[in-house]
Amino acid sequence: ISQCGRRDCAVKPCQSDEVPDGIKSVSYKYSEEANSLIEECEQAERLGAVDESLSEETQKAVLQWTKHDDSSDNFCEADDIQSPDAEYVDLLLNPERYTGYKGPDAWKIWNVIYEENCFKPQTIKRPLNPLASGQGKSEENTFYSWLEGLCVEKRAFYRLISGLHASINVHLSARYLLQDTWLEKKWGHNVTEFQQRFDGILTKGEGPRRLKNLYFLYLIELRALSKVVPFFERPDFQLFTGNKIQDAENKMLLLEILHEIKSFPLHFDENSFFAGDKKEANKLKEDFRLHFRNISRIMDCVGCLKCRLWGKLQTQGLGTALKILFSEKLIANMPESGPSYEFHLTRQEIVSLFNAFGRISTSVKELENFRKLLQNIH
């Protein structure tokens, strides 16, 4: 239902001349027709700054990437970057914050995500579901008894979705529109909004569970980043912005962050996932992947453009993290140089992976800020 006409829901796209040539050139290469146009331009005007930094093997690999984009390892539906409707967006100009998009339309999105994709029968009611009536303590007990009876993979799936939902709510509470006048707009922490979503008493014990799931999501994404270090360490991996010096500095900083993450004493072991009967495990893994792909499609139904942008970005980031966790052997077997056909991350996946981790990290930091604010109140 695309009826959100609020100013704060709008997304400001980049003009074509604001997009770095390196990014545009790489995205063009997904299309054979555009690829030939780029070659003509490079011959005529020598606009090949990005191509000069590519090895011949990597240029050939580009043709293989589109094949891999549709592989069975992907957990998200990726948007077509060649679509005439596609736009480049500067995320710094479109920060995630409260937009006023709430109520039944917003609840429907999350309700469908939980009801259709978390392996839950309709007879089991979720606690504090705003679209359900007459909920009581017995229904809460029934829900968590049902959840504990699930296998570890299905429990983890629910916790990841709950953690993502909680993280987004933390962002909205931390960047709430506190003042809106013709002189200025003031954004900041809304303690009351935070309490309504997470306070143990106000949420009848549900809020603390949500926050535990947020930390679970953080550990999952942290684990994925530690696993994918070899992919980014390969000399063939480059960050293309059109500025070679900046690209080299960015890669150095990226590897520095990843090695810092790898040094963290991880408390999550994904090897317990899909470890049972091989046939059943493969079936469960496929269900897991299809459910998550469906969630990424549901995000297209969000009526607020800015909420949709950040919802899709964080969903795809989590999907990319799952893809990494279930590709450990493929990552270990990557060649040291040359194209990697078995395991590859697209630009969209890389952007969403790090931005999603940035968002969940921000949530963890904001929880500390809210604790301090609440202590001052009490």
User: Does 315 appear as a known binding residue?
Assistant: no
Residue 241 assigned ligand-binding role? no
Pull the structure tokens for residue 268: 């999550």
* Half-sphere exposure of residue 239: CA atoms within 13 angstroms, side-chain side: 16
The reply, when asked if residue 71 is annotated as ligand binding, is no
% helix, strand, coil for the chain, step of 5: 60, 5, 35
What DSSP designation does 89 have?
B
Which tokens belong to 18? 């604001």
162 annotated as a binding-site residue: yes
Residue 134: burial class (beta carbons within 10 Å; 0-12, 13-18, 19+): exposed
The answer to the question of whether 83 is labelled as a binding residue is no
Is 187 annotated for ligand binding?
A: no
Question: Is residue 76 among the annotated active site residues?
Answer: no
Q: Phi, psi at residue 275, to the nearest 5°?
A: -105, 5
- For 176, phi then psi, to 5°, come to -95, 145
Please pick, among 4, 9, 76, 304, the residue that the annotation labels catalytic: 304
Give me the catalytic one of 4, 9, 76, 307: 307
The total number of residues written for the chain in this structure? 378
- Tell me whether residue 304 is one of the annotated catalytic residues: yes
Type of residue found at 205:
G
Q: What are residue 13's DSSP bridge partners?
A: 89
Binding-site residues: 97, 99, 110, 162, 165, 197
Binding-site residues for FAD: 97, 99, 110, 162, 165, 197
Please give the positions annotated as active site. 304, 307
